[in-house]
Structure 1
């Protein structure tokens, strides 16, 4: 009885001490002070209203973009299209994780641990149980091995550098993983070079279908969690397949990997691959935040169709193009964007294919190439009549069952009509093209956005 009384008094004291700073008043739970951080390479697009759609003549007679006043919230947007260099960072990360997973699995099967040399250096971190925390050991003993993937949840060892030089492989098991698992068979190689099997580069992730969950009257949280697995390497053959009877083999061979094109927009990426990139970019940033005890950032994602048009207009009401005016040539006689200005003459604007992502003048939101260069994926599904029924607040017609996704902005191979900020077009989400890229956005949290 005495022990119970002491416990009760201690509990009362704890509650009293927790609320003592508020002097008995309702002061709310005090969290960490929030300081918004502008993401690297992004610009803040301030909230506002605009007339979305074709206020000018609809020369294509598409009749799918009637004018409508809508309002969008503040968000950050990449100031350029995602470049080859940036997308290669994603590819390299996935390649490293695939190799580390294969090494860890083989080490586990062989019973080789971190205390051993060779492949043991790449064993799963939880194989070293002596250094596990109480929580990690409990999770390993009770939950490891559950799920579709036997090794789900087991931490990879990122502390050890991977060895790519064949003369420095630490043992035969390492060579087995690298040679037999990651490269094409010898009969599929030529010029004496072994080529990485890019089909092995798959990114797996899960996401929650919030909209479906919100509209459901029942169902558990797990019913709305979706699993994705996506091959993430760009389709470089688009440079040949998109253009019959045309010699574009140099672009197929060099465009994605050669340093000469590092700052050019990535192409050959499907809508699904662009979504996977957004998820990885969020994970990559939040892994960094977690290590330093910082709050997580909002997810990176593709812009909605309305966000894209609002950002492309750059705050200019009624503008035909991102620079405002109805003409594609400046007062000094220079073209304002990379497109096909004349029939058959792709080079009249000083560019034959794509150009560097920071080319031509940015719009008033400091965004480059919102017209021309490459068309850009949006998160919105394409419906001809979506403007009629979409909300006037952050409008977005999105459907998991509609494979047609809106692309915006026009590209290096398009005529000027497709460069207009209000022109709509679409492509199927599993398609990759030599003229479609993307840029990402991130929601802004808070209202004081005028100084960001």
Structure 2
């Protein structure tokens, strides 16, 4: 037998084996998965979550959240406490002007009708945030957001609410492209976006069958891995298929602070071989995000970088960038989002450049009250609004209508009894005459959102990730920007790494009893 005939024989045997591969069975019923003759229950092959555009993976862990140095502001709002953060994804950089202009372009294109004028205007950043009574900042007002020389500078003048809406828009655009790339949405269907209005793609509406997409011919072909119970190609994707990503969102305060510290640099990088791991070193409570040691110095093979600026901040009164010919951070205002050195997780400008919105509602002592794992204040639980007819509907923006859960729907539960828990364990609401009404008894309200990280106009104290401030969610500032985050599903250790500690199975005595 010559080599050609041998190759043909081997190929034929392999093809036969592939065609007659034993189907995967349920370990609890013995029934086959993906078998039209046995009910057709579809199970996707186990797969890892892929990293969304612009994101980096942050492996979770425990850390001491809060103050890293003396509380010189006497706020007493960042008392150190040990917490654990689950693994997640976060933007490598702050959201830049060009990214936000892309968002505005899409809104103006899709919602171009007169009835959407308020929607278009609500998304605009406040460029007047640069104005000051005793400074000449008009060039920043006129040029900063739109001139191409500032394309990759961080967007500012954006409220918390606008940043939140940007995350919703980004989620839908990323998932829509994932479906287009795989042929489950015909690309020709999205060529003409102008005037779509309510009919634009929304992930939740798609998953609930309220958005009808036109599939590409690839989805109708036999090569489509998704099947109906009868074995025919399935053109409607479900979340169980592992194609769509979780939503982009603002990071929680704990996530942001943990990502800023970049503690992974203090341990040997975990190996893809589960036999190796880091040494759980968290002894070095670093002050700034770029630190590799307690002194804040970073050395390379080419020599020390000691003496160079590692962030964009204000060195002292009247000194925002140094002296001509010897500029220190080379930026009087903001700097490009990939300026300076990234931290241990590869994230840029977690200390300096612009402060950033996070998801939490501000309270001075939340750190002492919140859970040990994934601490967060700001929950107001909601559910799909099925209306009087018992059917989910889309709102004027194409999103599924949601409503807050009622207390009567929650009172029978053990893990929570109210849907609005923003004030949970707050304490002040139980004291007669004390409430969080802005302008009445306190500057803090349920609209106050946490702001993290120092900015181009801050002294070094605010560059420490443990510091925290707040601003109302409908206000903006020339020193505040934002970045997005995303949930991590599956193994918290990362792709290719197992969850838990797995040992080799010992051979068991299989004698019949």
Tell me which interval the TM-score lies in, with the shorter structure as reference length: 0.5 to 0.7
2:48–2:495 Cα contact (<8 Å) kept: no
User: How far apart are the structure 2 equivalents of 1:47 and 1:94?
Assistant: 35
User: How far apart are the structure 2 equivalents of 1:451 and 1:302?
Assistant: 23
User: How far apart are the structure 2 equivalents of 1:419 and 1:280?
Assistant: 30
Aligned mate of 2:320, from 339, 343, 346: 346
Would you say 1:332 and 2:306 are equivalent positions?
A: yes
Matches within 5 A, 1:20-169: 22=25, 25=30, 29-33=41-45, 34-99=47-112, 102=113
Would you say 1:407 and 2:439 are equivalent positions?
A: no
1:201–1:233 Cα contact (<8 Å) kept: no
Number of the residue aligned with 1:319: 286
Report the TM-score when normalising by structure 2: 0.57
SS in 1 for 2:321: helix
Tell me how far 1:21 sits from its aligned partner.
Answer: 6.6
Number of the residue aligned with 1:111: none
* Deviations 1:119-154 (CA, angstroms, capped at 9, x unpaired): xxxxxxxxxxxxxxxxxxxxxxxxxxxxxxxxxxxx
Report the TM-score when normalising by structure 1: 0.64
User: How far apart are the structure 2 equivalents of 1:414 and 1:56?
Assistant: 16
Instruction: Rate the CA distance shift 1:44–1:250 in 2: closer, same or farther, 3 A.
Output: same
Would you say 1:446 and 2:490 are equivalent positions?
A: yes
Number of the residue aligned with 2:152: 263
Aligned mate of 2:124, from 233, 246, 261: 233
Tell me how far 1:26 sits from its aligned partner.
Answer: 5.6
User: How far apart are the structure 1 equivalents of 2:247 and 2:494?
Assistant: 22
1:43–1:78 Cα contact (<8 Å) kept: yes
User: How far apart are the structure 1 equivalents of 2:474 and 2:295?
Assistant: 34
* RMSD over equivalenced CA pairs, Å: 2.4
2:250–2:359 Cα contact (<8 Å) kept: yes
Q: Paired residues, what number?
A: 310
Number of the residue aligned with 1:380: 360
Tell me how far 1:328 sits from its aligned partner.
Answer: 7.2
SS in 2 for 1:405: strand
Matches within 5 A, 1:246-325: 246-291=135-180, 292=182, 293=184, 295-315=243-263, 317=282, 318-324=285-291
* Deviations 1:83-121 (CA, angstroms, capped at 9, x unpaired): 00111110000000122xx2xxxxxxxxxxxxxxxxxxx
Gaps of 5+ in 2: 1-22, 34-40, 185-236, 238-242, 267-281, 299-304, 323-328, 381-421, 423-445, 497-513
List 4+ stretches of structure 1 deviating above 4 A.
26-30, 325-331
Gaps of 5+ in 1: 1-19, 103-180, 183-198, 204-229
Number of the residue aligned with 1:428: 472
User: How far apart are the structure 1 equivalents of 2:118 and 2:109?
Assistant: 9
Aligned mate of 1:357, from 323, 337, 343: 337
